[in-house]
Structure 1
Amino acid sequence: LAFIIRQLLTNSIKYSEASDIVIKSYEQNDRTHLEVKDFGRGIDPKDISRIFDKGFTSTTKHHDHASTGMGLYLAKKAAKPLLIHMNVHSTPNLGTSFTLTFPKRNEFVNIISV
């Protein structure tokens, strides 16, 4: 989980060019949500479906030649066994919001004794 959050924050910092980053959590439908939102360059709509693909670095020109396209791929891969759903919403030139939706609390953990 720390890796996933670190990746989202790193991307927000890298692509938001000194603007604010908002991190919030909330409960909805008995699930916990964690949102990381930046106000940077955003993601081109044609790229949204590919951002979690291995090696994908966007079709938008960018100056970061060090990008490997592995960060979001590995974050998504790490989220799967944790049953965390990752959702992204982005508008070019307005920013990007990643939301992690955690699984419902397992009722089994509430059993004290049998």
Structure 2
Amino acid sequence: MTFNIIEKESEIFLRITDQGSGIVPHDVKRVFDPFFTGENGRVKQESTGMGLYLVKEIVNRLGHVVTIQSTVSEGTTVEFSLRQIPYMKGDRIVRVLNDYVINFDGSLPLYSLYLR
């Protein structure tokens, strides 16, 4: 599994990619539907159909976007597009993701997430 954070203009993109079995194309369209259990979930009988629905609901209510792309036998990528608003705090730029604050001072390769 890989995690990538990409900053572009007023958004931060968090991409989570696995190299699992993937999701069949006709299921990808419905994975965010409540109680939807795709082909993989029905075979393995470990799915409630609520996980990705809840993720999308929470992300949308926070004003962000979540998308999913998948290829059978190759894996799945879930991408979160997080809107940010930059402002200055002292001598550093701070970006606000709704009620979440991302501190980026340019000297660190990673972001720090602070919850208020």
Normalized per residue, the structure richer in helix is: 1
Distance 1:84 1:31 in 2: 9
Over the aligned positions, Cα root-mean-square deviation in angstroms equals 2.0
- Which portions of structure 1, spanning 4 or more consecutive aligned residues, are displaced by more than 3 angstroms? none
One-letter amino acid of the counterpart of residue 68, structure 2: V
Question: 5+ unaligned residues in a row in structure 2: which ranges?
Answer: 90-116
Cα deviations by residue, 1:37-77 (Å, 9 ceiling, x for unpaired)? 000000100111100000011034522x2310000001101
- Residue among 15, 18, 40 paired with 1:35: 15
Q: Relative contact order (alpha carbons < 8 A, sep ≥ 6): 1 or 2 greater? A: 1
Identity of aligned residues (%): 31
One-letter amino acid of the counterpart of residue 30, structure 1: S
| TM-score, with structure 2 as normaliser | 0.69
Structure 2 counterpart of 1:62:
43
One-letter amino acid of the counterpart of residue 67, structure 2: N
Cα deviations by residue, 1:2-48 (Å, 9 ceiling, x for unpaired)? xxxxxxxxxxxxxxxxxxx0011011233101010000000100111
Larger radius of gyration: 2
Question: 5+ unaligned residues in a row in structure 1: which ranges?
Answer: 1-20
Distance 1:76 1:95 in 2: 20
Distance 1:66 1:33 in 2: 29
Structure 2 counterpart of 1:12:
none
Normalized per residue, the structure richer in strand is: 2
